[in-house]
Amino acid sequence: MKRTAIRDQLSAISGQRSARNFWRLTVLLFTHYSLLITAVILLPFTAHSADDRNALLAGMDQAEILRLGERIYREGILPDGKPLPGYVSGDVPVDGTAFTCVSCHLRSGLGSFEGNVVTPPTNGRILYQPREPFIKGSEFIPYIHNYAVYLPVRPAYTYETLAALISTGFDPTGRSVVSVMPRYEMSARDMAILIAYLDTLSDKPSPGVDKSEIKFATVIVEGTDPSAVRSMLTPIEFGIDRKNSLAVAASKNPRVALMSYNMSGNLTDIKFSLSRWVLKGPSTTWKQQLENYYKTEPVFALLGGITNGDWEPVHRFCEEKGIPDLFPIVDYPVISQKDWYTLYPSRGVRQEGEAAARYLHSMYDLFKGRSIVQIIRADRRAEALARGFRETWAETGHPPAEDIILAKGEKLTAEKLQQIVAKEKPAALLVWDDASLLPAVSSLVGKPDKPGLVIASGTYLGKSLWAVPEEVREFLYMTYPYRLPQDDARYDKAAKRVLAGKPINLFDPVIIRQSYLTNEILGKALLEMRGEYYRDFLLDTIGMMADQYFPLYERVSFGPGQRYASKGCFMVQLGKGKSPKLVRRSEWVTQ
């Protein structure tokens, strides 16, 4: 068939149609597409029109809206108290209390990364701006910190498109996020409440931060040993001085600026300051003193801090005001699964008792039902050790150990210990006392009822740990919450840099290393924060850090909401000979 013939045929067919029919067809076709596209775009938004927003929230107090919005965001609980229903992959129901906004977008709303999964920010300030690549072209560089690689460009959200994303899982470009983000079902009013909360999330600059300065303070409880205070302050001041020197150097020489702190945000130009907030008198008055300090000088965060005893009023103040406190040097931290703002170096003294419980649990079958006895000196340190043991031992499901508490001021004697052992015949004995336990424990040598192992606290023994009598070393096990000294030398060089030119004997070797942690973690976190200096984001950022290896602790680890950095403790024995070494008898963390 010839081409012309086909053309003729077609023109004959089309020629049969009148021009009116053609335009009808055209109009129908376009109407069809227009309706289809409009329906696809507008269908999800009908329930959440912006015009309705104010009407939906009319009569509600702003503080109440934010409280309810925060509860949806953080706990997955709707204003009526019911769990927020979510659907993974668009159809599979998942309870919002298991899996809500905060799980991935974190408390600050500024997003997270884990492995190569990146969750973008979800706060109004960022959502209502279009997303461009971080640095043009950087989306082609495969590097985790360049989060633009993983986040596609998108236009600015509006209230309507944001509501549509939350309820349908489609973003304004039509891209579906349902493979990782649940689609949440909620009423138009609840949606308005949640979005009102997102609008305020990481929105206004945190107190203590401006374009030229970030203010910090450290809390010192009066009466704390001056050498301990000096040891806490020195590494932190060292870090702040170094940062400020770099800021000056960078302002004079752009090549210096290229070398470090300019890597994210405007950190190069910002100076740090550190104030000392000294708390005096009884701890009941500390809250007011802290209020006064804060009123005069709002700070972004507290760094370190030190006390001989109580810390709880400072912890509570930080919770109330939402002020982060990085690594206060305290023996008795507040133990909480939910509190957010204070990050402790460890769980304190009680961590040794917990480690002892896990260690004994690992060998419990060998005890064949024989008892376990704790002898507890009547002081705070021994009681904290005993409580750590008791609570962890209960978690493992064993019957409670026999607790024998010495009278106030009483020290353990050989006679008393022998009586206890003869009566209880324990398989294992825990003695929470200082060096006065050593002669008493020595008297058990050769006795028929001598327990298989005696456990004491390495930190409570202090320097006497190195003076454990030779005959006791075989059955005395000690908790030791640090890296063993012989292994710490190669990590210790960094901490010693802080002390360069200073007389070492004026410092407490443990505290200076604990405080070194504050300096290092703060620096790392600020570099990761991309100029977003928000208090919750500081803690979120630390929560996303990989395990860190510094002097003193075998390992410090973080995770969202984890608030005790060092989680381990070795069980050790003192080796034989005149210059003995500590010998490891357990792993860093015993489960």
Partner 1 sequence: MIVANQTLGDQLSVVSSQLFPPQRTRPLQARIIHYALLVTAALFLSLTSAASADNRTYQRSVEKYAMPDVTLINQNGNRVRFKNFLPTDKPVVVDFIFGTCTTICPVLSAGYASLQQRLGADTEKVHLISITIDPENDTPAVLKDYLKRYRSKPGWDFLTGSRKDIDRVMKAFNANIPDKMSHYALTFIRMPKEDNWVRINGMMSTSEFLAESQKAGIK
- Specify the length of the chain in residues: 591
Candidates 543, 553, 569, 571: give the one binding partner 1 (CB under 8 A).
Answer: 543
Closest CA to 484 of 496, 508, 466: 466
Closest CA to 66 of 174, 195, 197, 223: 197
Find out whether 431 and 372 touch, Cβ atoms under 8 Å.
no
Map the footprint of partner 1 across residues 504-533, applying CB under 8 A.
Answer: none
Cα(566)–Cα(33) distance, rounded to whole angstroms?
62
Cβ at position 111, least distance to partner 1 in Å = 10
Candidates 16, 54, 116, 284: give the one binding partner 1 (CB under 8 A).
Answer: 116
Cβ at position 167, least distance to partner 1 in Å = 18
Cβ at position 591, least distance to partner 1 in Å = 5
Map the footprint of partner 1 across residues 76-105, applying CB under 8 A.
Answer: 88-95, 97-99, 103-104
Candidates 133, 172, 560, 580: give the one binding partner 1 (CB under 8 A).
Answer: 560
Size of the site for partner 1 (CB under 8 A): 59
Copy the structure tokens of residue 500.
């360069």
DSSP character at residue 368? T
Map the footprint of partner 1 across residues 265-294, applying CB under 8 A.
Answer: none
Residue carrying structure tokens 């292994």: 487
Cβ at position 498, least distance to partner 1 in Å = 26
Map the footprint of partner 1 across residues 376-435, applying CB under 8 A.
Answer: 395-397
Give the CB-side neighbour count of residue 546, counting CA atoms within 13 A: 2
Q: In sequence order, what E strands does 310-439 have? A: 325-326, 342-346, 372-376, 402-405, 428-432
* Pick 118 or 583: Cβ nearer partner 1: 118
Find out whether 572 and 477 touch, Cβ atoms under 8 Å.
yes
Closest CA to 553 of 521, 581, 575: 521
Closest CA to 374 of 413, 415, 311, 430: 430
Cβ at position 112, least distance to partner 1 in Å = 5
Residue 26 burial (CB < 10 Å; 0-12/13-18/19+)?
A: exposed
* Pick 29 or 489: Cβ nearer partner 1: 29
Helix, strand, coil content of the chain in percent (nearest 5) = 45, 15, 40
Q: Near partner 1 by CB under 8 A, which window of 247-255, 343-351, 370-378, 557-565?
A: 557-565
Find out whether 261 and 527 touch, Cβ atoms under 8 Å.
yes
Cβ at position 60, least distance to partner 1 in Å = 30
Closest CA to 483 of 506, 455, 510, 462: 510
Q: Near partner 1 by CB under 8 A, which window of 6-14, 272-280, 404-412, 494-502?
A: 6-14
Beta-bridge partners for 457: 479
Q: Near partner 1 by CB under 8 A, which window of 135-143, 187-195, 250-258, 581-589?
A: 581-589
Map the footprint of partner 1 across residues 158-217, applying CB under 8 A.
Answer: 176, 178-180, 182
Beta-bridge partners for 271: 213
> What angle do the packed helices 509-528 and 226-252 form, to 10 degrees?
30
> What angle do the packed helices 509-528 and 485-498 form, to 10 degrees?
70
* Pick 92 or 500: Cβ nearer partner 1: 92
Q: Near partner 1 by CB under 8 A, which window of 115-123, 258-266, 368-376, 377-385?
A: 115-123
* Pick 2 or 295: Cβ nearer partner 1: 2
Candidates 145, 242, 555, 581: give the one binding partner 1 (CB under 8 A).
Answer: 555
CA distances from 562 to 288, 305, 343, 393, 572 (A): 29, 19, 8, 22, 27
* Pick 238 or 364: Cβ nearer partner 1: 364
Q: If binding is defined by CB under 8 A, does position 587 make contact with partner 1?
A: yes
Find out whether 261 and 247 touch, Cβ atoms under 8 Å.
yes
Cβ at position 185, least distance to partner 1 in Å = 15
Q: If binding is defined by CB under 8 A, does position 35 make contact with partner 1?
A: no
Candidates 568, 569, 571, 574: give the one binding partner 1 (CB under 8 A).
Answer: 568
Candidates 14, 31, 251, 253: give the one binding partner 1 (CB under 8 A).
Answer: 14
Q: If binding is defined by CB under 8 A, does position 363 make contact with partner 1?
A: no
Q: Where do contacts with partner 1 occur on this chain (CB under 8 A)?
A: 1-3, 6-7, 10, 14, 22, 26, 29, 33, 88-95, 97-99, 103-104, 106, 112-117, 119, 176, 178-180, 182, 361, 395-397, 543-547, 555, 557, 559-562, 567-568, 587-591
